[in-house]
Structure 1
Amino acid sequence: MIIQGKHIIIDAFECDALHLNNITYLEALCNKAAMDAGMEVLNSYFYPFQPQGLTGFLLLSTSHLSIHTWPEERYASLDFYTCGDQDLTAQVDFLIRGLSTKKAMVYSMERGVSQPQLVKFNEMTAFDHLKEKTSQELDS
């Protein structure tokens, strides 16, 4: 049996604090990222904390997508795991733009690998000019 997967971990800094506390917006953002990747969303659960912040989780037929937010710090952490060898670059970019992130650390690793590997790392910056496009994509 071949076990193969991709695990993406995103640390998003200097995000739009209003987005990070908007449960409707974030659920739509995560759902669109998963569906645009051709993934089936089996279940979605987002929980708001008081006075702010939230945790959201999408159970996917190919694994999961989760988000945890700290609006007071303008920070979000995301975990995107999928079976197979899909390229998730477009979905990562979409999520980062959707949070209006100014700086993101993106870690990528293969799952189901039986030998040591290097975790891939990418720093992404300057997403302000793309903010409007993501909002329009969610509205459509």
Structure 2
Amino acid sequence: MKELEKQSYPPEELSSVPVGRHCILELYNCPTSLLNDIGFIREALQTAAKIAKSTLLKEISYQFEPYGVTALALLAESHISIHTWPETGYIAVDIFTCGQHTKPEKACEYLIKAFQASTHVLMTLPRGKFSPTIQPTIKQLEEALLVNT
């Protein structure tokens, strides 16, 4: 019960509180040289983890032939992944963090600048539970599915 008392949401509303946020970041028109530089990508991944106020547990990366890199950060709070396509100047990034102390959107802002993306798309989704504003809609869908089965 002590943990519940630390939450910023009243205990009766915890069923509608997300456990974390999942940022899906699309980066376009990035310099090819950055997207194939495994050292730069590893450094960017580590810095993003720090900016997200998360705990980096382990990092792994792989250089593809003839080009492209995948880098993953295992976080105490979940993960960050970066996948590059130098031939098209595209990067796919996922940042999933749990806990109210984390700042995945700040890490996304950093990566947009670090990879010099001329265009980007950022989507942030609640994970685990849906935000109170969409929880009633989810409940209605669940009830409709139960009625129709």
Q: Could you tell me how far 1:37 is from its partner in structure 2?
A: 2.5
Higher helix share: 2
| Aligned match of 1:48 | 63
| Aligned match of 1:120 | none
Equivalent residue in structure 2 for 1:96, among 112, 121, 124: 112
Equivalent residue in structure 2 for 1:113, among 129, 134, 139: 129
Q: Could you tell me how far 1:40 is from its partner in structure 2?
A: 1.2
Q: Could you tell me how far 1:82 is from its partner in structure 2?
A: 0.3
Higher strand share: 1
SS at structure 2 position matched to 1:113: coil
| Aligned match of 2:33 | 18
Aligned pairs (5 A) from 1:27-106: 27-85=42-100, 86-106=102-122
| Aligned match of 1:124 | none
Letter in 2 for 1:91: A
- Give percent identity, aligned residues only: 32
Contact 2:96 2:104 in 1 (8 A): no
**Count of residues in Structure 1 that have an aligned counterpart in Structure 2:** 117
Q: Could you tell me how far 1:28 is from its partner in structure 2?
A: 0.4
Instruction: Give me the TM-score of the superposition, normalised by structure 2.
Output: 0.73
Q: Could you tell me how far 1:76 is from its partner in structure 2?
A: 0.4
Provide structure 1 residue ranges, at least 5 long, that are not aligned to the other structure: 118-140
Instruction: Give me the TM-score of the superposition, normalised by structure 1.
Output: 0.77
Q: Could you tell me how far 1:91 is from its partner in structure 2?
A: 1.3
Bigger shift: residues 24-33 or 79-88: 79-88
Q: Could you tell me how far 1:36 is from its partner in structure 2?
A: 2.4
Letter in 2 for 1:70: W
Letter in 2 for 1:90: K
Tell me how far apart the structure 2 counterparts of residues 36 and 13 of structure 1 sit (CA, whole Å).
22
Letter in 2 for 1:63: S
Contact 2:23 2:105 in 1 (8 A): no
SS at structure 1 position matched to 2:27: strand
Larger radius of gyration: 2
| Aligned match of 1:136 | none
